[in-house]
Amino acid sequence: MRSTEQFIIKKPLEFKTRLLRWAQQFDEVIWLDSNIYTQQYSSYDAILAVEAFTAIKTDHYNAFDQLKEYQESTSDWIFGYLSYDLKNDTENLVSENSDELNFPDLYFFQPKKIFLLKENILEVQYLRMVDDEIKRDYQEIRTLKGDNEADSSCGKVKISLKITKDEYKERVSEMLAHIHRGDIYEANFCQEFFAKDSCIDPLQTYHHLNEISTPPFAAFLKIEDCYLLSASPERYLRKEGQKIISQPIKGTAKRSLDVKEDMQLASDLSKDPKEKSENVMIVDLVRNDLSRTAKKGSVIVEDLCKVYSFKQVHQMISTIVSEVDPAISPVDVIKTTFPMGSMTGAPKISAMKIIENLESSKRGLYSGAVGYFTPNDDFDFNVVIRSILYNQEKRYISYTVGGAITAKSDPDKEYEECLIKAKAMREVLESIG
């Protein structure tokens, strides 16, 4: 079905930049970059998929059944995304908040051309219909000259808040009232920042965002006029053979330029009772979700509340694994765990209902997932956080940040944490023009 060739790349970092720039000629582009972040579960340093041969685009209604049929019938690599609002397919829920981005709820495509980079080895997989273009494309990428100049006609991006700080604090207080009543233990509450009648150069903006964050689950997605520029540090779910891996993030601390102070901030995070309780609650939720498809006794917590350091923040990450029966569809594994616990709360359905009532914007692709399925039914998906979303046709730019609200939450501190998480996106957008 696919022709494969391998090339040795002398300067992988330089080649990656050229490869992504070359990809901009296509209407469908997904770029996934680990930024060579050391991690236990990883197949490639970077992946590029371009040019749809077949595709599926749908709203939430029966979305997972349609995806399952598409994934099974295609029996090939497929790349795409799951928006948060697919919750309405898995549960009796709605999404009625405002949506200025208008991305489809689900989109996947079978690419004609795939590039898989690991260290200095580039593997190229083309569908047979275009395999005569492999060498030509490789030469074109290798000799691509100059940088793309950013679109200077866009001007300054003026960022607005969907809700004020006072409104945010009031809604956190409402969420705390739900927690004290026993409706929920924890919920992830998010707020949107946006710019109307604005434009950006998506590729330059992505490069800037990735440069200041260098996260392990970065993504650049282009589906016609819809763009995702993501500096995500979080994996949602991965399948390796029959092994399922989930790595939720809960717990955040700022970084410091002073080495001693920075080490202290990381140490304080590892011992913080509020942050640890947030993480443990979500670990319990993930264990429960994975158990729905796992072989009996196979759900194991490999790492609990381990602190990882990224350029912008320290994060507390846990790793939970399970084993599934080969007869279980990979799409069903995702369906029974979606949306991810780190972006919802516990109990999950109650938390999602309360989130819908208190948030002002439809989440859409934010807190959804981007990734791929392989021809042998493996998959890997990130969590869409620390991301800029852009509808080029509507000239609408958006980024959303949130945090876990628990009984120990302080509204002022939660708002401060949101601003820490928003820093990279704001810095990137405010530097434009």
Task: Determine the longest span between alpha carbons in the chain, in angstroms.
Answer: 65
Question: What value, to the nearest 5°, has the Cα angle with vertex 334 and ends 329 and 340?
Answer: 165
Indicate if 250 belongs to the active site.
yes
Which among 297, 308, 184, 287 is positioned nearest to 245, based on CA atoms?
Answer: 287
Torsion on CA atoms 262, 254, 316, 422, rounded to nearest 10 = -150
Mutual angle of helices 202-213 and 411-430, in 10-degree steps:
130
Output the CA–CA distances (angstroms, integers) from residue 136 to 31, 84, 143, 237, 420, in the order listed. 21, 39, 11, 36, 45
Which among 143, 344, 322 is positioned nearest to 237, based on CA atoms?
Answer: 322
- Residue 389's Cβ-side half-sphere holds a number of Cα atoms within 13 Å equal to 25
CA distance 326 to 337: 18
Q: Which of 28, 51, 192, 234 is catalytic?
A: 234
Q: Which of 239, 250, 335, 348 is catalytic?
A: 250
Which among 85, 180, 98, 91 is positioned nearest to 405, based on CA atoms?
Answer: 180
Catalytic positions are 234, 250
